[in-house]
Amino acid sequence: MSEHNPELPLEIQALIEKAQGGDAEAQTELGLAYYFGEGVEQNYQQAAYWFTQAAEQDYPIAQCSLGVLYELGQGVAQSDEKAVEYYQLAAEQGDARGQCNLGLMYLQGKG
């Protein structure tokens, strides 16, 4: 879990505070920041941690993003089955990216 770091941009510090408070949208945004290395050092394990926190609250963008991590094996052990599981959760909530990724997995016979 992230800790307060005065060297981080104020925007990231505020995001961390909201994410630690349980805000699923902030958790997802923080996960994306870690995934892309925007405002923080790129860290796929931290991205996976924050996506998982939001995914457990049924936040579809986080579920889809976590599916990507599992599909690519970034920050988590690679698992097509887990990727499909998270894409399915996102797709069922109408997340277009989750639906697309799930369809591609089916097309490729993965998971």
Cβ(25)–Cβ(62) below 8 Å: no
User: Bigger pLDDT: 4 or 21?
Assistant: 21
* Residue 78 domain boundaries: 10-108
pLDDT at 105 over 60: yes
Average pLDDT, the chain: 95
Is residue 83 in a domain?
yes
pLDDT tens-digit profile of 30-81? Answer: 999 999 999 999 999 999 999 999 999 999 999 999 999 999 999 999 999 9
CA distance 48 to 45: 5
Token duo for residue 95: 């997340």
Token duo for residue 106: 């089916």
Q: What is the pLDDT of residue 6?
A: 72
CATH of the domain at 51: 1.25.40.10
Q: Which of 103, 109, 100, 111 is nearest to 70 (CA)?
A: 111
The structural domain count of the chain equals 1
Q: What is the pLDDT of residue 44?
A: 98
Is residue 5 in a domain?
no
